[in-house]
Structure 1
Amino acid sequence: MYDTIKSEHIHPTFVALGDIDDFKYINDHYGHMCGDYVLVSIATIIKDILFQSVGIVRWGGEEIVLLFEDEDVMMPKAMLEQIRQKIEAFDFNFDDQHIQVTMTFGLSAVLDDVDDAIQNADEHMYQGKRSGKNQIIS
């Protein structure tokens, strides 16, 4: 799996998996054009916060994978928290309707295998979903 997201410039030490909370509801209630607007807006928010040494890949419909090269877990956590807060506070306004959007993230260290780290990040993310959403679990 990592081969599909590997970059010659990114040698990740941490992997985060993020999922837009209740994205299916957004698509079903407001329409797929709104869902696309939310995806593009979130991509812009993330791009504005992240450093160039962070890789980002869309993973499935509304999930993203972030690859961090930082050795200190506090930096990826701080960046994810900035993203989480900015998404929560952002005024998603589509067709004159305000839409509350949040995201849940799982963060995992890359020990030996990136696929294992993605799996761990995915498990952390779902733990965050089950325990209230809109949070970061590592």
Structure 2
Amino acid sequence: MAGIAASIMSHCIRRVRPGLLEARSERGISPLEDNGWIMARFTPPDFNDRVAAAKAAKEKALEKLRNKPPIDPAIVAERQAAQAARDAAAAEKRAARAAAMEAAAAEKEARKLAKAASAAAASKRTQKTEAELKAERDARYAARKARKR
């Protein structure tokens, strides 16, 4: 265990002679249980350290941005042309889809009207006038009277 702890914490160690950790682990002294002679004490960065680190990072990013080569105008024009072509294709696709949806809606409306017209014609065929109804009723009455005789 001491060998693993020593390898993990080797970045925190100061004033160590070669072979010291192995000798201490053989004697049963762990670097984690040391009195501070081997392990460096962690000090969290204070406000000024954090500000300096942020400033350095910002300067590094700005320097990286400054060193970036400018974009070639021909490449920019090519990209803009490609984007315009993509936009035109998308607009054409949207228009085709809208036309297809409109045609589908018109076809649905036409089917609805045709169905309503056929239903009206069918109901007209099934509706009988009062005279026809009276004639059928009289025929049934006459057939009943004929059966009784």
TM-score (norm 1): 0.21
Greater relative CO, 1 or 2 (CA 8 Å, sep 6+) = 1
Structure whose CA Rg is larger: 2
TM-score (norm 2): 0.20
